[in-house]
């Protein structure tokens, strides 16, 4: 395993404790969520290094503190839903289909940021409820120090070598977890996808509430393969000191590895306690200056007028070279999401007693 420096250790601590941070905020024990000099950001995990880099300048410029609560992308929307009558957050960053869910259930206040103009129409809500902040791709990940023969297909994960060594995040609480269902149903059809997931479950050790924890578990060799997303996995490998490698799987032997876009999207919470600063935070995060730093953390700028450049941008291009992108009908996903979640819990997990909301690695 790679030796971790202070920065990497601090990053891992942030990844291991989002549930505790969230609990502290929602119970009023930690941060002054309603204070006029604070703006509260609920965010899916994976963008910690970007926030660390760009938010101090915003705080200095505006004279406000940005309080960040990090969790799985479904979990941050669930939290905001619970608080709908008395919102604690101002801005939310999360993955599809949870950003669409937030829009459909009235959690978001439409806001047409001036900096949304260079976000493609397909990558934002027509009314301004949300827009793509950091573009990204769904991936799987392995620990390359442990897995010497990289799996090429979904069927490869069913091999005895991976027994008890597979984990993926809970589709009910994590966008990357729902992405497992989205991709397998797209490639196999719904029934065959759930048949596959039932077989895969025989090799699954457990499931996590959020996806960020899985990178740490991979690096510690508690598991050998997991789901993830390209931005987070590349960033954790390069900047977090973790032993992991993102991979893409093919539907059949000899087939083309396949994935789909899974962006981080940003939106304004309706009736948030500091909505004025929330709008300014969205404007800032979508600014040319911040978007130009997105490739540094292996993300793809949400704005088409900001190029994917630099060493890390080239690494992203190289990682997705030769990978087939499949389109996703997010309206269909939203229509099926509840059924898929219930089917996963009933047919895949069943009465196995398998853990499905692991929130941090075992000590």
Tell me the pLDDT tens digit for each residue of 285-299: 999 999 999 999 999
Longest dimension (CA), the chain: 58
pLDDT of residue 14 exceeding 50, the answer is: no
The residue ranking higher by pLDDT, 10 or 359, is 359
Q: What's the confidence (pLDDT) of residue 21?
A: 40
Report the distance separating Cα 25 and Cα 59, nearest Å: 19
How do strand 131-135 and strand 300-301 relate by DSSP bridges?
antiparallel
- Sheet with 300-301, side-by-side order of all strands: 65-71, 38-44, 91-94, 264-268, 131-135, 300-301
Question: Residues 88, 40: contact at Cβ < 8 Å?
Answer: yes
Q: Quick one: which H or E segment has residue 181?
A: helix 175-188
The confidence band for 244, taking pLDDT boundaries of 50, 70 and 90, is very high
Tell me the pLDDT tens digit for each residue of 59-96: 999 999 999 999 988 899 999 999 999 999 999 999 99
Q: What's the confidence (pLDDT) of residue 24?
A: 38
Averaged pLDDT score across all residues of the chain: 89
Give 256's contacts (C-beta < 8 A, 6+ positions apart).
250, 322, 323, 324
Q: What's the confidence (pLDDT) of residue 15?
A: 43
Domains and CATH numbers, the chain: 6-136+262-314 (3.40.190.10), 138-260+317-349 (3.40.190.10)
pLDDT of residue 6 exceeding 50, the answer is: no
């Amino acid at each position: 395993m790679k030796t971790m420096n202070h920065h990497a250790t601090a990053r891992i601590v942030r990844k291991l404790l989002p549930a505790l941070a969230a609990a502290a905020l929602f119970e009023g024990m930690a941060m002054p969520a309603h204070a006029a000099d604070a703006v509260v950001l609920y965010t899916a995990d994976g963008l910690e290094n970007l926030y660390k880099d760009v938010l101090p300048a915003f705080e200095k410029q505006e004279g406000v503190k940005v309080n960040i609560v990090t969790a799985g992308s479904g979990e941050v929307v669930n939290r905001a839903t619970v608080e709908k009558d008395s919102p604690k957050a101002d801005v939310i960053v999360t993955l599809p289909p949870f950003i669409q869910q937030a829009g459909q259930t009235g959690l978001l206040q439409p806001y047409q940021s001036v900096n949304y103009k260079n976000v493609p129409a397909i990558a934002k809500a027509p009314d301004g409820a949300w827009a793509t902040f950091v573009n990204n791709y769904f991936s799987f990940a392995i620990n390359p120090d442990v897995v010497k023969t990289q799996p090429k297909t979904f069927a490869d994960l069913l091999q005895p070598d991976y027994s008890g060594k597979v984990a993926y995040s809970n589709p009910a609480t994590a966008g990357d977890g729902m992405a497992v269902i989205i991709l397998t149903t797209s490639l196999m059809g719904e029934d065959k996808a759930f048949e596959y997931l039932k077989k895969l479950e025989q090799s699954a050790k457990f499931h996590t509430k959020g996806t960020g924890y899985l990178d740490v578990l991979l690096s510690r060799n508690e598991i050998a393969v997991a789901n993830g997303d390209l931005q987070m996995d590349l960033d954790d490998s390069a900047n977090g000191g973790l032993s992991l490698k993102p991979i893409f799987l093919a539907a059949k032997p000899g087939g083309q590895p396949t994935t789909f876009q899974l962006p981080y999207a940003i939106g304004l919470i309706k009736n948030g306690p500091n909505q004025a600063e929330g709008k300014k935070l969205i404007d800032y995060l979508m600014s040319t200056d911040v978007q130009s730093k997105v490739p540094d953390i292996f993300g793809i700028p949400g704005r088409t007028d900001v190029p994917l450049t630099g060493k890390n941008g080239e690494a992203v291009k190289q990682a997705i070279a030769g990978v087939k992108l499949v389109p996703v009908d997010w309206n269909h996903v939203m229509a099926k999401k509840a059924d898929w979640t219930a089917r996963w819990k009933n047919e895949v997990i069943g009465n196995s007693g398998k853990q499905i909301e692991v929130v941090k690695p075992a000590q």
